[in-house]
Structure formats: structure tokens, C-alpha cells
Amino acid sequence: MANSVTRSVAVCALWLSAIAAGGFVFLRYENTQGVAGHVPQQWPAGAAVPLDPRLDTLVFFAHPHCPCTRASAEELNRLMAKCNGKVAAHVLFLSPANLSEDWTKTDLWKSVGAIPGVTVHADRDGAQARLFGAETSGQVVLFSPRGRLLFAGGITGGRGHAGDNAGENALASLLNGDKTRISQTPVYGCELFGHCEVPSGGTVQ
């Protein structure tokens, strides 16, 4: 009887340890910031998307296979619902020249393309991302009609974590003509030019 109790206690201890370890891995993943990159202070010459002469222009960079960018897309949808008609919004998906169109046009592409007011583009070999200094999927930049950088950063509070966050709130304030002290926030997402990570420690091509 005593041995049975001891074994049960040991199994429970191992089970709790596994849960704790898994929780730690997930929290570390969720809170790991991506590289922000060096975003130009002025709209770069040679940009493939147009700078709107009347409205602020928002550009969102995405890896089509990044699982955590789905949360960023949800936040973009909420932002556009609040500010549609007040911003020219473009989403650029990484599109390697050596891979097929199907690799780029994933379900994420389709869901983002369905957001009212958003124009979706394929970013051939990430040329535009490099031009704007974006290195992480989910990076958002906002420029004024005169080409001045107003905001650079992410619009989630963690990897794959949708919900109220500083980036989306700052953008909503800027687009609605309100004052905000926030012009930069962390970006939570996979590397644009690398493998996409998943919480289990694996990768997505």
C-alpha cells in the first residue's frame, strides 16, 4: 500500500513538473520580442506602395506562415473597424522568388485580404520589408501624408496574444486625431527572413 501511494505521489509530481515546464516555455515564447529593425524616419524612395497624399499610410509586414501573426491580423481588423476611411492600409506578405504563389497566398493572406479598407500585396523576396527596415512579422509602420514616420512597432501585447495593447491604442489615437506619447512598441512575431517558431520548440517553413 505504501509503495502504491509513493508511486502515485511521484507520478503526480512528475505531471505537475511537466505542466510547469510547458507553461514556462509558452510564457517565454509569448513574451519574446522580435527584432524591431531600423525604420526610416521619412517615406523611402522606391516604395512599391503609394504614399497617400491625404490620409496617413499604414504598412503591415507579414510572413504568410507565421502562427502568431494571426493575432496581429485580428488587431488590424479591429483597428480598421475603428478607423476605416481615415487611413490607407497596406499589408505586404513575404513572397520568396523561388517558391510558388500558393506558398504566399495562405489562409492568413485570405483573411487579411477580407479586412475592409486593406490592400494586400506580395513582397517579392522581401524587398519592401528591407526598404522599410522591417525584420519581424507583424511589424507596422505609419507615415503622415508628407512622409513623416508617426509610428513603428507591433499591435499585440505578446506573441499570438490578441486583445487590448499599447500599439493598437496608439495607432487608433493617431488616426482619430488624438494625442499619444507612444510612437514605438515592441513587435511580437516570427522573423520575416527566417523560420517561423511555434511554442513546442518546432519551426514552420
pTM value surpassing 0.85: no
pLDDT band at 27 (very low <50, low <70, confident <90, very high): very low
**Angle at the Cα of 49 (from 44 to 53), degrees rounded to 5?**
80
3-state secondary structure 33-49: CCCCCCCCCECCCCCCC
Q: Which CATH superfamily is domain 56-204 in?
A: Glutaredoxin (3.40.30.10)
Q: Is the pLDDT of residue 17 over 80?
A: no
- Quick: pLDDT tens for 91-121: 999 999 999 999 999 999 999 999 999 999 9
